[in-house]
Amino acid sequence: MTTASVSLGTSVSSQSRLMQLALAALLGIFVMGFVGFSHIDAVHNAAHDYRHSMAFPCH
């Protein structure tokens, strides 16, 4: 008698993990580029205030 166990969600292929990492990096680059160099004062000031609240040096 043989038994098979199925574990859902624990086996992620390395290609899928690499794709997730690449998309997360691209999203981060986009957000930092848009917010950091934004000419919209509200967007830039919100990011600036957030950096200060997280004790991240930005000056």
**H helices present in the chain, as ranges:** 14-36, 41-53
pLDDT tens for each residue of 15-43: 889 999 999 999 888 877 777 777 888 87
Residues 27 and 30: their CA atoms lie apart, in Å, by 5
| Matching residue, tokens 């000419």 | 39
Extract the tokens encoding 5.
């166990």
Catalogue the E-assigned strands of the chain: none
Write down the pTM of the prediction: 0.48
Mean pLDDT of the chain: 77
- Most confident stretch, 9-13, 22-26, 35-39, 52-56: 22-26
Extract the tokens encoding 10.
């624990």
Q: What is the DSSP letter of 9?
A: S
pLDDT at 12 over 60: yes
